[in-house]
Amino acid sequence: MGKIVILTGAGISAESGLGTFRDADGLWARHAIEDVATPQGFARNPALVHAFYNARRQQAAAARPNAAHHALARLQDKWPDDVVIVTQNVDALHEAAGARGVVHMHGTLAGALCAACAHRWPAPETMEPGAVCPRCGGASARPDVVWFGEMPYHMDRILDHLARADLFVAIGTSGQVYPAAGFVQEASAAGAHTLEMNLEPSDVSFGFAETRLGPATRVVVDWVAELVARGPGSNG
């Protein structure tokens, strides 16, 4: 089995009841990005931002992984040294399905971050404005989620995985936000086969050698079943 690097987006959690961002009823249809997902928005109105993430944290905590999350965990379990999951999602559904070493490039709802000293700790279910950092005591606690204008996490590690990928798979992402939307080019340049599985073509479908359209709970489950049936040496 060659090295498989999987990038997931909000679409893989859609069938677990968590909203996506850019679908018709998505989060960005109901909230202005600049108000709830930028450092400036947080500085302007921390109560609004905390309320936005408190609601998502509680919704994510009540959600259950779906068949697509479980299929990826099964694939990783079969070839633990070859399957890396990089996610743009801030929910913990991959981990809840049993996936390990998930790379959260946009942070996690379960994490809190001190804007003053960069200390990290498990976020409480609800965070309030003025929440205090347990290390420096500053009233500067924020969700440990990467906002627009901020650098995603773990980029060096991700680019190293892409440089060594035999297969790059993108699942449930619209391909509208970089650097994640550019990963297919990185992987292709490294000689990887590329596969996109999405409900509809993304903005970067043209960059993929192969596309499978449909809901993740069908398309991803079928793909993993094919790989497992073919056994080692298959590259998806």
| Contact residues for ligand APR, defined by CB under 6 A | 9-11, 14-15, 20-23, 26, 88, 106, 172-174, 176-177, 198-200, 202, 215-216
What the block records as the tokens of 116 is: 């003053």
**In angstroms, how far is the first alpha carbon of the chain from the final one?**
9
Helical spans, DSSP H, in 79-124? 93-96
Q: Within 13 Å and on the Cβ side, how many CA atoms surround 157? A: 12
Residue nearest to ligand APR (CB): 11
Taking the complex as a whole, the smallest distance from the CB of residue 104 to ligand APR amounts, in Å, to 10
Nearest residue to 204 (alpha-carbon basis) of 171, 229, 176: 176
Nearer to ligand APR, 14 or 103 (CB): 14
- How far, in Å, CA of 126 to CA of 56, rounded? 10
Nearer to ligand APR, 69 or 193 (CB): 69
Catalytic residue among 94, 104, 106, 193: 106
Instruction: With beta carbons less than 8 A apart as the criterion, state whether 91 and 18 touch.
Output: yes
Nearer to ligand APR, 59 or 138 (CB): 59
Active-site residue flag, 161: no
Instruction: With beta carbons less than 8 A apart as the criterion, state whether 169 and 144 touch.
Output: no
Taking the complex as a whole, the smallest distance from the CB of residue 44 to ligand APR amounts, in Å, to 19
Question: Three-state SS for 104?
Answer: strand
Nearest residue to 169 (alpha-carbon basis) of 63, 78, 76: 76
Sign of the Cα torsion 104, 106, 109, 112 reads positive
Write out the catalytic residue numbers: 106
